[in-house]
């Protein structure tokens, strides 16, 4: 067995400082030029690599934690980040997400915004590390909302839109979330009040129960939303040029709008793409294959040797003769 490098022990093995701080004004930019598309692709690959790595840490250490949804929606998140940077006067700069298990998105963006160090991601879902499986306001640095379970955020986002009438509010959605009754009521309210809410929905035909096209034949995200009065468009979520154009149309539209991104679960991950295996945390063997193909040797070593160890609780006796519960890592 090889000896892990010093870097793999102490540092996050993917350099997130390489993230390119795109700034895109959708009110002025109808389509992305090649330079912007190149930067967008670079950022998507960087963040997807990071998400595979640290969610695999959770998987290999027995804590679980979802990979696929966060991995899928990286293109939308990177574009949202570029919009927030270019026009802070026009957007509420929060990555609201109605699929709370995609919490890896919140954590990686917290790092990019400087709220915590990247090394903390290597403790993903670990007990007492304050990186729970759904975002919790006040628990994790940089997290700006508590999501609750699947499909609870859109009504909350409507409330934000009512309070911030001069700004656009995004809500990252999913096909699974859109099956919830709360979303039906939220859609009707958004239409009734003409709220400036933009739903960016990842429709990957995968939920924890399997493939919706198999167990809910006839169900359609876009037709359901249209039935509530929403304006909806669909796009290939992996065609980044078209994805940008679809998001831009949604942004300049007056009122609620949903962009449904059609893509396979975990695009580009061998033996996981399009399957339910990507819904929860990616299995160690698939993560190692993915990271190896991308030359991320330190990440491979870290996952392979399981250098992160479970946190145990032990009692220590303090000088005041009172017992305090503290963490220690074996």
Q: Where are the domains of the chain?
A: 6-329
pLDDT tens for the chain, 330 residues long, are 344 444 444 799 999 999 999 999 999 999 999 999 999 999 999 999 999 999 998 887 777 788 989 999 999 999 999 999 999 999 999 999 999 889 999 999 999 999 999 999 999 988 888 998 889 999 999 999 999 878 889 999 999 999 999 999 999 999 989 989 999 999 999 999 999 999 999 999 988 778 888 988 889 999 999 999 999 999 999 999 999 999 999 999 999 999 999 999 999 999 999 888 888 888 899 999 999 999 999 999 999 885 445 444 333 333 333 333 333 333
Predicted local confidence at residue 281, as pLDDT: 85
The predicted structure's pLDDT at residue 330: 30
**Pairing between strand 311-317 and 323-329?**
antiparallel
Cα separation, 36 vs 321, in Å, equals 61
> Which CATH code, of 3.40.50.970, 2.160.10.10, 3.30.559.30, 3.50.50.60, is assigned to 6-329?
3.40.50.970
Outline where DSSP puts E strands in 131-285.
169-174, 197-203, 231-236, 257-262
- Taking the C-alpha atoms of residue 49 and residue 266, their distance in angstroms, rounded to an integer, is 12
Distance CA(238)–CA(254), nearest Å, equals 26
* Alpha-helical runs (H) found in 22-128: 34-60, 68-72, 74-86, 103-112
Rounded CA separation 72/263 (Å)? 8
* pLDDT score for 306: 57
Non-local (6+) Cβ contacts of 71 within 8 A are: 48, 51, 52, 104, 266, 269, 278
Identify the pLDDT of residue 176. Answer: 87
> How far is it, in rounded angstroms, from Cα 303 to Cα 291?
10
Neighbours of 128 (CB within 10 A): 12
Q: What is the pTM of this model?
A: 0.88
């Amino acid at each position: 067995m090889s000896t892990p490098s010093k870097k793999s022990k102490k540092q996050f093995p993917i350099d997130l400082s390489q993230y390119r701080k795109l700034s895109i004004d959708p009110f002025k930019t109808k389509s992305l030029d090649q330079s912007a598309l190149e930067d967008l692709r670079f950022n998507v690959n960087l963040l997807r690599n990071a998400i595979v790595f640290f969610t695999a840490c959770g998987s290999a250490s027995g804590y679980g934690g979802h990979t696929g949804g966060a991995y899928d929606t990286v293109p939308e998140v990177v574009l949202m980040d570029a919009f927030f940077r270019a026009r802070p006067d026009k957007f509420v700069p929060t990555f609201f997400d109605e699929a709370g298990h995609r919490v890896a998105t919140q954590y990686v963006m917290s790092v990019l915004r400087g709220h915590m160090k990247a090394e903390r991601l290597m403790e993903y879902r670990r007990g007492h590390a304050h990186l729970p499986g759904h975002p919790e306001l006040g628990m994790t640095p940089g997290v700006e909302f508590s999501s609750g379970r699947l499909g609870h955020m859109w009504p909350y986002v409507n409330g934000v839109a009512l309070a911030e009438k001069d700004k656009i509010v995004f809500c990252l959605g999913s096909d699974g979330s859109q099956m919830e009754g709360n979303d039906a009521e939220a859609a009707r309210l958004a239409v009734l009040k003409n709220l400036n809410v933009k739903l960016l929905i990842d429709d990957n035909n995968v939920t924890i129960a399997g493939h919706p096209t198999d167990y809910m034949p006839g169900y359609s995200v876009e037709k359901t939303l249209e039935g509530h009065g929403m304006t909806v468009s669909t796009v290939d979520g992996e065609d980044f040029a078209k994805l940008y154009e679809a998001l831009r149309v949604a942004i300049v539209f007056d009122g609620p709008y949903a962009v449904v991104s059609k893509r396979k679960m975990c695009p580009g991950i061998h033996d996981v793409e399009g399957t339910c295996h990507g819904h929860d945390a990616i299995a160690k063997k698939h993560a190692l294959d993915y990271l190896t193909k991308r030359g991320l040797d330190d990440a491979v070593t870290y996952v392979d040797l399981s250098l992160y160890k479970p946190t145990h609780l032990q009692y220590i006796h303090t000088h005041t003769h009172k017992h305090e519960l503290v963490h220690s890592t074996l």
